[in-house]
């Protein structure tokens, strides 16, 4: 709890002076004012985070939190439970979706076992296991408050290690059978939305299985009575270790001043919890894509982070973050390589009243 409190109490703000310098450079480039749209916003935000109007964006990592969820026993997933362990280990073999897309974006992945229900022995996976999966939220809390804090601090600590290694751009990802169930439960409580409206079919549920999933989430909320005004209470009662670890990643990125991308629905829910713990965290977060999970748009709206891409994706893993890295590369190339009006011997555009 000491580390979490230290982080929550000391998250800073974006540096406005540096952001103004970055905007002046953008305005000096040979283009109509503001014509690169959200690409310009990215650069200005990165400048404010790094306190450098020429921020470095050359070391990228995607942190993938992997964990099992006790609610599996309620029949809310079409996948076998051991898929969590299999995919977690496959991340180290280089052929999963996030491996391919992150490599294309010039990024590496960090695979974290924060709660997989298996005895994984793999030196390419960070063993930060809280325990082998959470408890069944339909019967009681997923974890204790102390376990939730421990998982959050795991995420913070991993971000710290990346900061020390010189990483200057982070993405988030996850793997955990049933984590759309836990994410939908948290979303319903924190936003007040109807469970049926923000719950999806996950990995391909039948209609009857979907209705069961909705019923299980509703039951979990009734059984646990989470306090919507206490994000930690909601997280420990309805969440997963993967979500809690990602909450720590978002908090840590804000504390250590590293821009960090949301991936899809699950990581967006983690971002929402993080911003409810400290609203300043929002300044350090960027969206990637709009997941096809029904709750995704609502959570991004709550965050005030409209998606950069809408491709109908619902892979998870960090794939959306990897694609967003390519957008960052484009923004940075324009910012650093375009000529100025002075270079082109053209009179600079000025805003008209």
- Catalytic residue positions, numbered: 317
* Residue the block writes with tokens 């280990």: 89
* Residue the block writes with tokens 């905007």: 23
Rg (CA), the chain: 20
Q: String of b and e for 270-287 (b: at least 16 CB within 10 Å)?
A: bbbbbbbbbebbbbbbbb
Structural tokens at position 302? 């709550």
| Residue 29, Cβ density class (10 Å: 0-12 exposed, 13-18 middle, ≥19 buried) | buried
Q: Which residues are CB-neighbours of 281 under 8 A, at least 6 positions away?
A: 11, 250, 251, 254, 271, 274, 275
**Distance in angstroms (rounded) separating the CA atoms of residues 70 and 192:** 24
Q: Are 73 and 43 in contact (CB under 8 A)?
A: no
**HSE-CB of 326 using CA atoms within 13 angstroms:** 12
**Distance in angstroms (rounded) separating the CA atoms of residues 20 and 8:** 27
* Residue the block writes with tokens 């990215």: 42
**Distance in angstroms (rounded) separating the CA atoms of residues 314 and 339:** 39
Count of residues for the chain? Answer: 353
E strand or H helix at 299, and its extent?
A: helix 296-303
């Amino acid at each position: 709890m000491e580390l979490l409190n230290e982080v929550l109490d000391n998250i800073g703000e974006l540096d406005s002076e540096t952001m103004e310098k970055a905007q002046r450079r953008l305005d000096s480039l040979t283009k109509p004012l503001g014509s690169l749209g959200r690409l310009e916003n990215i650069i200005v935000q990165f400048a404010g985070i790094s306190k450098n109007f020429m921020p470095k964006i050359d070391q990228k990592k995607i942190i993938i939190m992997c964990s099992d969820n006790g609610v599996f026993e309620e029949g809310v997933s079409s996948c076998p439970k051991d898929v969590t362990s299999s995919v977690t280990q496959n991340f180290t073999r280089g052929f999963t979706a996030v491996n391919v897309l992150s490599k294309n974006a010039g990024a590496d992945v960090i695979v974290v076992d924060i709660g997989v229900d298996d005895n994984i022995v793999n030196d390419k996976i960070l063993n930060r296991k809280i325990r082998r999966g959470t408890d069944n939220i339909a019967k009681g809390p997923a974890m204790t408050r102390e376990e939730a804090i421990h998982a959050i601090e795991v995420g913070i600590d991993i971000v710290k290690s990346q900061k020390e290694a010189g990483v200057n751009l982070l993405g988030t990802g996850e793997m955990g059978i049933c984590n759309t169930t836990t994410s939908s439960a948290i979303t319903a409580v924190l936003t007040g939305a109807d469970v049926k409206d923000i719950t999806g079919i996950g990995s391909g549920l039948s209609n009857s299985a979907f209705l069961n999933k909705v019923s299980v989430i509703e039951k979990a909320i009734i059984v646990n009575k989470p306090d919507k005004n206490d994000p930690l209470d909601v997280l420990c009662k309805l969440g997963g270790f993967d979500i809690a670890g990602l909450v720590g990643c978002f908090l840590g990125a804000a504390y250590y001043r590293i821009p960090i991308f949301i991936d899809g629905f699950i990581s967006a829910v983690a971002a929402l919890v993080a911003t409810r713990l400290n609203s300043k965290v929002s300044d350090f977060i960027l969206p990637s894509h709009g997941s096809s999970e029904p709750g995704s748009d609502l959570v991004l709206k709550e965050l005030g982070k409209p998606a950069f891409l809408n491709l109908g994706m619902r892979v998870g893993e960090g794939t959306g973050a990897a694609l967003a890295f390519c957008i960052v590369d484009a923004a940075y190339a324009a910012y650093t390589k375009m000529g100025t009006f002075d270079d082109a011997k053209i009179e600079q555009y000025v805003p008209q009243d």
